[in-house]
Structure 1
Amino acid sequence: MTHLSINALTKRYPGEEKPAIDSLSLEVESGKLVALLGPSGCGKTTTMKMIAGLLEPTSGDILFDNQSILNIAPEKRGAVMVFQNYLLFPYMTIAQNVGYGLKMRKVDQATIDRRVGEMLELVKLPSLGDRRPKELSGGQQQRVALARALIVQPNLLLLDEPLSNLDAHLRFEMRDLIREIQQEMGITTLFVTHDQEEAAVLSDKIALILDGTLQQYDPPMGFYESPKSRAIADFFGGVNFVTGTQDKGRFTSDLGAWSAPRGIEAGSGLATIRPEDIEICEAPGENVVSGNIVSHVYVGTHSRLKVDVGAHQFHVVADAGIIKTYGTGSTVMLHLPAEKIWVLPHAKD
């Protein structure tokens, strides 16, 4: 297992005014899976290619177990990269594709055959070794690409949007398999994605990159419960915002005064609460507001409501059965649990 350190890593492409990635610093503990999350063009893949040795940094350093790798050839770094488009050799069998890395290392054929069998078992394709890539589905091809990467026992596994070409059902299956294998092998892994849910489900920590700059580096829960800025909260979506003033754990706005002990201590604030944290209640009380349901959507496992409260509209995720009690036009009381409110600093215009 390898500890990865990224120190003030910067990449500036010729002719570009802004760097593609700007002073990125991260510590990835041995055996952990970290998601590099962000929209297209934010610098995620650029970062991964610098780690793999496919791009040279403008400045900064990359260390494996406290040793710089910048002067080490890509093929000797022990980092392998799996791309979203698989890059399998069409003229080879699946077994030959998986064993290719060992063949290039001049490993004897008996060992290759044994290791290929082990890898195909690991990715749950034990009987497909004699087939060609064109005979496999997209999900199966991605499993083969993963097996080919893992067979060389890399120090670091780099996954570049590996699920983006798969349909929803296959994405769910593949992400579960990746997490299962990563934990079983204990391999340090970086996973590039633009999907917030994917990052939250798969990773031990998420590095959110926006416009080439690291915004927050925390376990998934930190992004949902304590985002460091409105931009971060917006990126994870669905958050309700109310502007007001924070003072000693009390947040005051045009909706009244609430208990809100988390976040800034004092000053102009932006109270945030996620739709799934709002509770429908039956009686007035602390942190309770009243409003009218203007939209009600039943989605099977739950209901999604839009509730107008004064000049604000709250998005609420409620129990699916709520449709039996409340419908569009109903008046409803909403409880905003104090421990679920997070108050950000808010700069007035």
Structure 2
Amino acid sequence: MKFLDLAKVYIRSGSGGNGCISFRREKYVEYGGPDGGNGGRGGDVIAVAVDGLNTLIDYRYQQHFFAKNGRPGEGRQKTGADGDDIILRVPVGTEILDEDQETVLFDLTEVGQEVIIAKGGNGGFGNLHFKSSTNQAPRRRNPGLDGVERTIWLRLKLIADVGLLGLPNAGKSTFLAATSNARPKIADYPFTTLHPNLGVVGVDGAEFVIADIPGLIEGAHEGKGIGDRFLGHVERCAVLLHLIDGTSDTLEEDYRTVIHELEQYGGGLAEKPRVTVLTKADSLGDELIEMQRADLSAAIGIDVLAMSAAAQIGVTEVLRALRQQILDRNAAERAALEGEPEPWRP
């Protein structure tokens, strides 16, 4: 299935049906009075987050979604039928944006979450509604209200526990393929990965989800290499795994390039817990990779791990470090919730 994380959609809710002007006409009933019914309500445009979807590709081929109009009212006090709603089924993690692509209208983060994007118009009143003691034969009715027509954007941000970060060709896809059943394309050239991939990994009986995004380049936060789109996919991750090519001659520069992009992008990415790892350890040998690791740790002031996903060296230690970070994050969130005062009730 082709991956698509941004789609433009045109929607229109249904208009309400018109009210009816009608008078009761039956044999032996000389003054039947008004009996015009109300119009039906127009259909809504509804978005629902469903399980089993991880792309917006369906909205590449259909961009227009129009709900049905309500039916007009009829005589004999018959209310018109309501128009049918139309439902947009989207993956969990989809944001619904206004036409400016910046204003977030809704954020669907849970399976089954449902929002009304455009509400249908109310039906008009028939002349029966206007009957009163002083006007017993009204010849007045209301038209139905128009539906809402607008353009929206759907933007998918993948939901995963761990987000993979690094420059192009740092070994992210190799790590995902070695630790999960995901099969991303792997090759010895930059930008082999062109769209995000998800994989479920396990360690010590526990499982968590890792998102692999294409490599970042300098200026990614400004949209170079559509890096701003890619960074959006790791906004929801609890932990970031920063992979650095251990064979590079500019380890510290490579590290700071990615960190700079996180800081400039914003969204709290730079403050998220991170595990920093040197990759391709099998290409350097034990002594050299240990020296590289120690030098980088001293330069950036944090502990750095080393591994080779292809040779399965140090992979388990990396997974355990990620798992511990996830547990720490969950524990902190639980503690914060428990510390909140109970809401006041009368």
Q: TM-score, normalised by structure 2?
A: 0.22
The structure that has the greater radius of gyration is: 2
**Greater share of strand:** 1
More helix by share: 1
